[in-house]
Amino acid sequence: MMKLRPSLRLYFLGAMLFLGVSMAITFSALTVNYFVEGMDSVLRGTMVEVADTEGLAVQDGKPVMLLGFHVASRWQDLPTEARDIFPVPPTAMFEFNKYVVKDDFFSPPNAVHFVMVMKTKPGQLLYIYKTYKGDLHARLSDGPGSQFFWISVFGISGIVVFALLLIMVMRRVASPVEALRDWAKSLNAESLQQPPPEFKYKELNTLAKIVHNSLSSVQDSLNSVQEGLDREHEFLRNASHELRTPIAVIRTNVELLNKINTKSPMTVKQQQVIERIERAGFTMSHLTETLLWLSRDESLSLTLERVKLDELIRQTVDDLNYLLRGKSVIVELNTSEWQVELPATACRIVLANLVRNAFQHTQSGVVTINQQQGLVVIRNSNDDLDDAVADNVGNAGANSQDLGFGLGVKLTDKLTARFNWHHQRLVESSGHKVTVNFNTPNDIKTALDNA
């Protein structure tokens, strides 16, 4: 069942209607009560006047009937009907007792009986009894129960008039409030340049100014942030593109030096220098590619290509094999032929980052790379437990200067999330286990369409 949301408008309308109906019912009930009390007061006065009538000779055993009032000096001289209805005679002077006979609470009375005891001016004690049968109100007014009828009519009319006035007031108040709501919902960067419109009431105009000023401040802050981000992205793109040329020159000359070295061997120190330059060239090359992706360079195409995943893994391992020079690390590579349509550049960057992580954080041990169709599992295991603990705890330390757990991890997470490639990293006692599952072409095409 749908839950109704609370509405301030409906709450106010319901509360005011409840208040108006309650007041109408209360005043109608008071009117009826005053009407009945007035009739009783008139009747009580009439009884007093009848008892004080000059020449009224009332004696024990000889009650008098005057204008429909039974007047007796003793209780037992009243009619049997009166003594049956009022079994106990009134004792206090001018005590006025009434007994109403009717079918139900809302129906008019079928009969009303009145009795009162008083002393006349000469000091005689008299009991006065009066009864009305049939429609009493019809006898006292123009029609059957006309007083109560008109009281009900005026009460209902008051409720209707109050409800109509309340609805009119609510419309006059709600209309500018709704206009304020619609204006606030339609605000955008262009409309914020215009001053807020007039909303009829001072409080609403103040609220509109507050909303306008707040959103304008937020928009200015967003513009400043966006400008800063644009400048940073532009710098990253420009720097990355400009770095490609010197990096290519460095790597080309390193390859040339290696060829020269085959003809005229260098000294050990010279060879070490060349190897450091070569590693730096590879690192800068990957860093440049990473920065381009992080800056969302549109020049990098996301078109699908037919990729031999097993060959790409082997090529990646060969390219990053320089990271294992001088280490006692064994690489176990288990692949199977598998071709799939993937964004080749994104796939290569993810694989390069994962393999680089494993090579960089293994000083002595085994790196296992298993590929079965689109599932790739890379695990590094350090023989020295102290190195493994330092690797797990201190990844942000000395190795943070490389792409291991810095930009490389960030870019890997970004790409795998973008293309819906399942990616998981687990910390084990002797190293790490990383899993990435390259999806089917349909999933990749969907991700590209949504990108």
Could you give the CA distance from residue 403 to residue 396 in angstroms, rounded to a whole number?
11
Nearest Cα to 192, choosing from 218, 154, 156?
218
Least confident of 131-140, 293-302, 391-400: 391-400
**Nearest Cα to Cα of residue 323 among 290, 368, 363, 376:** 363
The answer to which of 221-230, 251-260, 435-444 has the lowest mean pLDDT is 435-444
CB 391 within 8 A of CB 442: no
DSSP string covering 354-403: HHHHHHHT-SEEEEEEEEETTEEEEEEEESSHHHHHHHHH-TTSGGGGSS
List beta partners, residue 371.
376
Task: Say yes or no to pLDDT of 64 above 60.
Answer: yes
Interval 128-185: pLDDT, tens: 888 887 655 555 555 545 555 666 777 788 778 877 887 787 777 777 777 888 888 8
Structure tokens at 350: 């993810």
**Which residue shows structure tokens 């796939």?**
347
Residue among 294, 7, 284 at smallest CA distance from 170? 7
Residue with tokens 């009795």: 115
If you average pLDDT over residues 22-46, what whole number do you get? 79
- Which helix (DSSP H) or strand (DSSP E) does residue 114 occupy? strand 111-119
Enumerate the domain spans of the chain.
8-159, 193-300, 301-450
**Residue corresponding to tokens 């009134």:** 90
Higher pLDDT, 152 or 386: 152
More confident residue, 12 or 97: 97
pLDDT grade for 246, boundaries at 50, 70 and 90 = confident
Quote the tokens at residue 118: 């008083």
Give the C-alpha distances (Å, rounded to integers) separating 272 from 266, 275, 276, 278, 279: 10, 5, 6, 10, 11
The count of other CB atoms within 10 Å of the CB of residue 217 is 10
Between CA 45 and CA 48 the distance in angstroms is 5
- H-helix or E-strand containing 132? strand 125-133
Q: Is the pLDDT of residue 102 over 80?
A: no
Report the pLDDT value the prediction gives residue 369, as an integer from 0 to 100: 92
Nearest Cα residue to 376 out of 336, 429, 405, 319: 336
Per-residue pLDDT, averaged over 435-446, amounts to: 65
* Selected residue with higher pLDDT from 270 and 310: 310
Q: In Å, how far are 199, 325, 401 from 395, measured between CA atoms?
A: 60, 20, 10
Whether the pLDDT of residue 377 is over 90: the answer is: yes
Tokens of 119: 């002393």
CATH number of 301-450: 3.30.565.10
Sheet holding 375-382, edge to edge: 328-334, 364-372, 375-382, 431-437, 422-428
Q: Which residues make Cβ contacts (< 8 Å) with residue 184, sequence separation at least 6?
A: 208, 211
Determine contact, residues 309/353, Cβ cutoff 8 Å: no
Average pLDDT of the chain, as a whole number: 76
Q: Output 118 or 408, whichever has higher pLDDT.
A: 118
pTM of the full predicted structure?
0.43
Q: Cβ(434)–Cβ(379) under 8 Å?
A: yes
Structure-token pair, residue 254: 């390193």
In this predicted structure, the answer to whether residue 3 has a pLDDT above a threshold of 80 is no
| pLDDT of residue 351 exceeding 50 | yes
Lowest mean pLDDT among 276-280, 396-400, 421-425: 396-400
Tokens of 34: 């005053």
Mean pLDDT of 203-213: 83
* Residue 404 pLDDT greater than 50, yes or no: no
* Residue 394: predicted pLDDT: 43
Element of type H or E holding 101: strand 95-101
Look up residue 23 and give its two tokens.
């007041």
Other CB atoms within a 10 A radius of the CB of residue 222 amount to 11
- Give the model confidence (pLDDT) of 263-276 as tens digits: 777 777 777 777 77
- Tokens read off for 140: 């006292």
Q: What is the DSSP string of 308-356?
A: EHHHHHHHHHHHTGGGGTTSEEEEEEE----EEEE-HHHHHHHHHHHHH
What pLDDT, on a 0 to 100 scale, did the predictor assign at position 378? 92
- What angle, 0 to 180 degrees and rounded to 10, lies between the N-to-C axes of helices 268-294 and 344-360? 130
Out of 19-23, 191-195, 333-337, give the one with best mean pLDDT.
Answer: 333-337
Pick 279 or 44 by higher pLDDT. 44
Tokens 């893994």, residue? 313
CATH of domain 193-300: 1.10.287
Residue 221 CA to residue 227 CA, distance in Å, equals 10
